[in-house]
Amino acid sequence: MKTLTTLTSVAALLLAGPAFAEFALDTRFTDADGDLIADIPTDPAQLADPDTLIFAYTPVEDPAVYAEVWQGFLDHMAEVTGREVQFFPVQSNAAQIEAMRAGRLHIAGFNTGSNPLAVACAGFRPFAMMAAEDGSFGYEMEIITFPDSGIAAVEDLRGSQLAFTSETSNSGFKAPSALLEGEFGMVAGTDFEPVFSGAHDASILGVANRDYPAAAIANSVMARMIEREVITSDQVVTIYTSQTFPTTGYGTAHNLTPELQEQIREAFFSFEWEGSALEAEFANSGEAQFIPITFQEDWAVIRTIDELTGVVYECN
């Protein structure tokens, strides 16, 4: 785990690509201050002030587990905001983005890769991220296989199958696609067969159970699965580890009232981690607090990966 100031380029930005990706918000939103996120509407008629706040964590294989993990935090948010707060289990990144775009989701943690799409298309305003006690944060993309798979190095993936999670995932698709092509000259569909599992834990379980010969995953998810004894460390072998990337970004829908958005921020930064279910779950991957972030600065490397891999932010 590192601070983002230590980030090097992604395979030298894949042979000297642009420093920042092209990025623009959907025409539904404005960005008068140039911070790359949607402005809060100035017209009171466009503001939302719901009695019940809906929160969603990034899609996982078993949402019920994380509903329990987040409950103490949501109770704290209810106390700070004076509103009821409900956990909304989402099945996919697309469903999570659509829920916020449609006004059914008010607060969310969007994973690293889907964060730019949520900002561009759903008016997501990220402001927080989990970090260690010393303020460091991040995770690495790993390519994993199982023992005796015959895959000992990245080059051995040629002619084999590689599991991705979803096309909006950074470590589950975009970063490994860029790195495999940039560093190893390997293209999905030509040099290896891509398949999609839908989630990091599904990919990890797939490799551990030998359903997939290899997978690209976020190592923070794998660390938590090993700690919960969902898998054992001897079921998987890592053949590649990337540079450090930012983790899930937390924030609000753009059209909540300014006062409510400020209360939600306060709930994140005043939450007491010690003894909480969040601490018990996320300490396994090194997190111990929420820290402030900005999309403009902290997601620059992810927007660059999007640019280099030809991602287009299509907002339907």
**Interatomic CA distance for residues 29 and 300, integer angstroms:** 20
For tokens 């995953």, what's the residue?
A: 217
Measured CA to CA, the distance from residue 267 to residue 172 in angstroms comes to 30
Res. 301 pLDDT band, cuts 50 70 90: confident
More confident of the two residues 16 and 209? 209
Looking at the chain, the whole-number percentage of residues with pLDDT higher than 70 is 93
Q: Per residue in 190-207, pLDDT tens?
A: 999 999 999 999 999 999
Indicate the angle between helix axes 300-308 and 175-184, nearest 10 degrees.
60
83 or 60: which leads in pLDDT:
83
Answer left, alpha or beta for residue 198, where phi above 0 means left and psi between -120 and 50 means alpha. left
- How far, in Å, CA of 107 to CA of 126, rounded? 9
Write the pLDDT tens digit of every residue in 243-261: 889 999 999 999 999 999 9
Is 72 a residue whose pLDDT tops 50? yes
Q: Is the pLDDT of residue 13 over 60?
A: no
Range scoring the smallest mean pLDDT among 6-20, 80-94, 137-151: 6-20
Give start-end residues of each CATH 3.40.190.10 domain in the chain: 4-136+246-308, 139-245
Question: Sheet containing 84-87: which strands, arranged edge to edge?
Answer: 84-87, 52-56, 107-110, 249-253, 124-131, 289-292
State the CATH class of domain 139-245. alpha beta
- Out of 3.40.190.10, 3.30.450.80, 3.20.20.120, 3.40.50.720, the CATH code matching 4-136+246-308 is 3.40.190.10
Output the pLDDT for position 310.
80
Which pLDDT score, from 0 to 100, does residue 7 have?
31
Q: Give the model's pLDDT for residue 64.
A: 80
Cβ(142)–Cβ(222) under 8 Å?
Answer: yes
